[in-house]
Amino acid sequence: MTASVLMPLIVLLSSLVPAVLIFLLPADRHWLRGAMSLGGATLKLAIVAIMLWGVFHEQTYRLTIPFLPGLPLTLHADALSMFLITLSALLWLFTTIYAIGYLDNAPHRRRFFGFFSLCVSATVGIALAGDLLTFLVFYELLTLTTYPLVAHRGSAKALQAARTYLTYTLGGGAVLLLATVWLYHVAGTLAFREQGFLNGLVAEQGPTLTVIFFLLIAGFGVKAALVPLHGWLPKAMVAPAPVSALLHAVAVVKAGAFGIVRVVSDVYGIETSDQMGLLLPLTLAASFTIVYGSVRALAQDDLKRRLAYSTVSQVSYIALGLSLGSPIAALGGIVHLVHQGVMKITLFFCAGNLAESAGIYRVSQMRGIGRRMPWTMAAFTVAAFGMIGIPPLAGFVSKWHLGVGAAAANQGWVIAVLVTSGLLNAAYFLPIIHTAWFAVENSVNGKSDDHKDAAEAKWPLLAPALFTAALSMIIGLFATADASPLTWATLIMRREFGL
Amino acid sequence: MSDFLANILSHGGVWLLVIALPMTVAALATIRGARRYVPLLAPWATLPALVVALWAPAGVVADVPWFLLGAQFGLDETGRVFLFLTATIWFIGGVYAQSRSFRDHAGTHFFVLFLLTMAGNLGLVVSLDMASFYMWFAVMTFASYGLVIHSRSPSVMRAGRVYIAMAVIGEVVLFAAMVVLAQSAGTANFEQAQLAGVSPDRWRLVSVLSLLGLGVKAGVIGLHMWMPLSYRAAPTPAAAVMSGAMINAALIGWLRLLPFGQVELPVVGGLFTGLGLLAAFAGVFIGLMQRHPKAVLAYSSVSQMGTMVAALGVALQSAGRWQFALGAVLIYALHHALAKAALFLAQGLSEQAVPSRASRWLTQLALVMPALSLAGAPWTSGALAKAGLKSEIALSSSVWSDWLITLLPIAAVGTVLLMVRFVCLSWPGKAAISQQAAPLPAAISACVMVTLSYSTVWLWPNAGPANAAEVASSPKALWAGAYPVLAGIAIAWLGVKTIKPVRLAPNRLTLPAGDIVVLIEKAGKRLFRLIGKQAINRSATPRQPLA
């Protein structure tokens, strides 16, 4: 076996093997379990770093595993895979540290960390999938491995939310399976290719391909929380904070968005789908989702629900960027895959800290908490400003390219959507920041003091939040540096558009 | 000195150091032992910027490709005027804030935000590309929220809400203007964008968007409502830097963004001029009906900025004389910034008790002198600025220039009336002599500000037309400066003497500060009641906390 085969395998196994071992290990071996999780995460990150270098220099990493007759599972690392896999490897490491701190002395830790590692393995599979079938297999694995995490608390509410989640995602999965089989029947292949593999078929099979396109988008739209398929996401907020963080930043929601990216750019090809007129409906759906999610977020007092609706809105930036048919807009969309992940995970880490250290679940309970937990709230503030799109934070870089791309595609109304979204983001994030830093404590409904015992979160909870907050500033401030997400996304775009 | 500065300022990092120095000082507040030095160091953080403004040769530029989307910082003659006035006003405002009331715990908070706002304000002046301009602009806007709501009373909180709502609207519309221009020009560099041959259609779009986006900061009529509320809410030094320095962010934004001297945009130019004139008059009318001196000053800013926006509109219609028009606008901006900051500091001083009659006279002098200057009385900086602007407008080829020449003197009479109202409202009464006197830094800084507001414009190299100073002291110009002042004072006197309601029940003739914002708030509440009922009902039922 050469490095080319070995690398994808190690990346996959670096979380799969710990997962299996964790299940085999006695439940009270906390230290060993933690060490295995962290060791796997560190190893993964190291291998991913090597692969990044390799993919940049056009090395091939390809691993095929026999599966169906004529249709093996293919793991293949292209520039786009590396984008998601780097994000997941990095954020998995932080979330593991966070989760160890968060679940200190909580029950069912073996189950939690086992499925947690499986969930990451599925994400790695999705990122590395070289064709639509492989993608689908890991996509469904992700659905199944996330279910126990959402249901983790075991309360009636958690079980109900997990059921809703399963109903939605399995429904989406069924649609995807149908579309994939149909597509294989029409095209005879499912292997992803830069600029798509359907160019030759458009003339004969135009209408069929159009139907398949929308089936695929609808299927992926469930996890990507495109309105009206988003209903499961706010409910899934009952999951513990590290799960929410991973769900919203790299795993489930991101997998849906990543699926849309794959369909548009590597199945149909951005230019081909543009010529077929498939993109405008996607632009409309994404725009609607962006505005709708923000409007709903406004009305939520529950912090995690507000963040959930914010995710609904923000993830659709990715689909929006791809749907405009302009390379710059697509760049903005793709780079938001990473930017949204880094910022959103910060927000969820902070929400978890507030719940753990101060028992705060609602925005209205946050009065003056900035003085008690200055570092947590500093991280929150940075990420929230990034979400609004304020420079020098990551969100600005995404938004700038989306805006320039919309102007290039002569879709002025999309800029209006971005402006509206910016306003709404400000309208639901700034009051939180105001409440935390400027509002006076001690006067919530006459109650004496909501959080007089609150102290800053402990280090395993605080450090990941601070790091990701700093990262969302660094990748914005140095957006044009050699190793920045923007530079990497530019590489993806150059290859996708054949520039 | 100049060579040395030219040398080091060719490195982008040096610019960033100059801008980020206030942020570094602010960061000291996170260190327990260093925290108490933050207030003391705050004013001095502007010094490098001031040195650059005074001694760096024009045209120093540094590319910083690794910063944001590829930044460029530099200084041209436009930047020099704004950097000078920004650094000066922040320095003096910082000295004023050295009084005891700002130096307790809440005061450290105040100074941290003061320094962050300062960094944003300095940064946007020297930014020559859109992304970094936008970044510093945002830093300034959001940090200054904390300055506005410093005293935390309910009315101040309301002012803060109006301020931040309007500011965010401005931010996002400015973003739209910038992405459209960046795409049309294929570059995010201001100068290259101006020269990129963008189509007039796109220029029109960019101009209108920037009129809205930056108009919030400049108090363009219809977007001005936050100004009287915030200026009144903010503590004196904050109000001084907002009204003197920060307001000019809009002006420099327009100068950087719009194709002055390159492309003629008659319709958009007309829009600028029309709105500017409207503001020049509406500011006076609404301002006269204010009860608080700081609100009067805010409406005076609406009016003064209106005059400048009108002049920019004229310049958009006649590209030919741009270099001269630019000079006139810059001098006007310099005059207005320094005079307005001086007025706010003097007003702050007038609220404090004085130790002796002599110092009360000093306060009274500090109130009257910048007021006279803003009114354009002979030998003041206002006289020079107004003369320059008027002669430029007369020479332009705009269809609006005749109108402006006729209307601006009338607006000047209005300004006189406003200043009379302001001086009357803040006149320190006789009982105010006490041992609990105004702190020395405040008194000194107010006096220095007043002095600077008189002298700077006359000393500024190449201020307006070459013989402007000479022209401004000719008998004709002296008369042109004197008659609106005399007319204004006469009208004010006659008004009080002859119109009964003005004399007997002045409080009935008032409009709330922020005028239409009151209507908007009412409409908003009603709208919220209509559509929000459901949401409120739903959120009233307690939810199980989620973990």
Q: Do B169 and A408 touch (CB under 8 A)?
A: no
Strands A71-76 and A62-68: antiparallel
Mean pLDDT across A352-363: 92
Shortest CB distance from B138 goes to which of A241, A390, A430?
Answer: A390
Q: pLDDT at residue B545 above 50? A: no
CB atoms within 10 A of CB B227: 30
Task: Tally A–B CB contacts below 8 A.
Answer: 110
Average pLDDT over residues A91-114: 91
Q: Is A277 exposed, middle or buried (0-12, 13-18, 19+ CB in 10 A)?
A: exposed
| A303 Cα to chain B: minimum distance (Å) | 9
Mean pLDDT of A362-369: 91
Q: List chain A residues with CB under 8 Å of B184.
A: 407
Interface with chain A: mutation pick from B130, B179, B537, highest number of A CBs within 10 Å: B179
Q: What is the pLDDT of residue B420?
A: 92
Cite the beta strand spans of A328-376 per DSSP E.
none
Q: Which residues of A touch B180 (CB under 8 A)?
A: 403, 407, 412, 415
The mean predicted confidence, pLDDT, of chain B is 88
Q: Chain A contact for B152, CB < 8 A?
A: yes
Nearest-by-Cβ selection for A480 from B65, B135, B138: B65
Of B164, B180, B544, the CB nearest to A157: B544
Measured between beta carbons, which residues in chain B are less than 8 angstroms from residue A480?
Answer: 65-66, 68-70
Does A390 sit within 8 Å of B546, measured CB to CB?
Answer: no
The amino acid that residue B177 corresponds to is A
Instruction: Nearest by CB to B179, from A407, A476, A477: name it.
Output: A407
Shortest distance, CA B294 to any CA of chain A (angstroms): 24
Nearest to A400 among B69, B205, B538 (CB): B69
Positive or negative, the Cα torsion across B382, B383, B387, B390?
A: positive
pLDDT at residue B101 is higher than 80: no
A426 touches chain B (CB under 8 A): yes
pLDDT tens digits for range B423-449: 999 888 765 566 665 678 888 888 898
Chain B, nearest residue to A237 by Cα: B546
A277: left (phi over 0), alpha (psi -120 to 50) or beta: left
Nearest CB partner across the interface for A238, out of B152, B179, B546: B546
Is the ipTM beyond the 0.90 threshold? yes
Q: Which residues contact B94 (CB under 8 A, 6 or more apart)?
A: B42, B43, B44, B45, B46, B114, B118, B237
Cβ of B8: how many Cβ atoms within 10 Å? 17
Alpha-carbon distances, residue A28 vs A19, A104, A112, B191 (angstroms): 16, 12, 13, 66
**A28 at B interface, C-beta within 8 A:** no
A481 CB neighbours in chain B (<8 A) are 66
CA-based angle B428:B429:B432, to the nearest 5? Answer: 90
**pLDDT tens profile A254-298:** 999 999 999 999 999 998 899 899 999 999 999 999 999 999 999
**Where is pLDDT greater, at B101 or A102?**
A102
Residue A92 makes CB contacts below 8 A (sequence gap 6+) with A15, A41, A44, A120, A246, A250
B183:A478 CB<8 A? no
Q: Does residue A498 have a pLDDT over 90?
A: no
Question: Is A142 touching B (CB cutoff 8 A)?
Answer: no
pLDDT score, position B532: 58
Per residue in B266-308, pLDDT (tens digit) is 999 999 999 999 999 999 999 998 989 999 999 999 999 999 9
> Do B183 and A407 lie within an 8 Å CB cutoff?
yes
pLDDT per residue over B445-457, tens digit each? 888 988 888 888 8
User: How do residues B125-177 score in pLDDT, each as one tens digit?
Assistant: 999 999 999 999 999 999 999 999 998 888 999 999 999 999 999 999 999 99
Q: Predicted confidence band at B541 (pLDDT cuts at 50, 70, 90)?
A: very low
Residues B196-227 pLDDT 10s: 989 999 999 999 999 999 999 999 999 999 99
Note whether A282 contacts B: Cβ–Cβ < 8 A.
no
**Between residues 306 and 335 of chain B, which touch chain A (CB distance below 8 Å)?**
none
Q: Within an 8 Å CB–CB cutoff, is residue A151 touching chain B?
A: no
Beta strand pairing call for B60-64 and A71-76: unpaired
Upstream peptide bond of A228 is cis (omega within 30 degrees of 0)? yes
State the pLDDT confidence band at A442, using cuts at 50, 70 and 90. Answer: low
Using a CB–CB cutoff of 8 Å, tell me whether A392 touches chain B. yes
- B172 Cβ under 8 Å from any chain A Cβ: yes
Determine contact: B13 vs chain A, CB below 8 A.
Answer: no
Chain A residue closest to B151 (CA)?
A: A438
Distances (CA, A) of A308 to A52, A253, A294, A427, B87: 31, 11, 10, 15, 43
pLDDT band at A453 (very low <50, low <70, confident <90, very high): low
CB contact under 8 A, B176 and A423: no
Q: Do B152 and A392 touch (CB under 8 A)?
A: no
Whole-model pTM? 0.94
Sign of CA dihedral B430, B433, B436, B441: positive
Asked if B33 is an interface residue toward chain A (Cβ–Cβ < 8 A), one would say no
pLDDT band at A418 (very low <50, low <70, confident <90, very high): very high
Give contacts of A427 with chain B, Cβ < 8 Å.
168
Chain centroid offset of residue A421 CA: 19
B492 has a pLDDT exceeding 70: yes
pLDDT in tens, B43-53: 999 999 999 99
Min distance A297 CA to chain B CA atoms (Å): 11
Residues 113-142 of B with CB under 8 A from A: 131-132, 134-135, 138, 142
Nearest to B179 among A240, A305, A403 (CB): A403
Interface test with B, best of A390, A397, A437 (most B CBs within 10 A): A390
B-chain residues near A406 (CB < 8 A): 179
Are residues A430 and B168, on separate chains, in Cβ contact within 8 Å? Answer: yes
Please tell me the predicted confidence (pLDDT) of residue A448: 45
Model pLDDT, residue B510 = 77
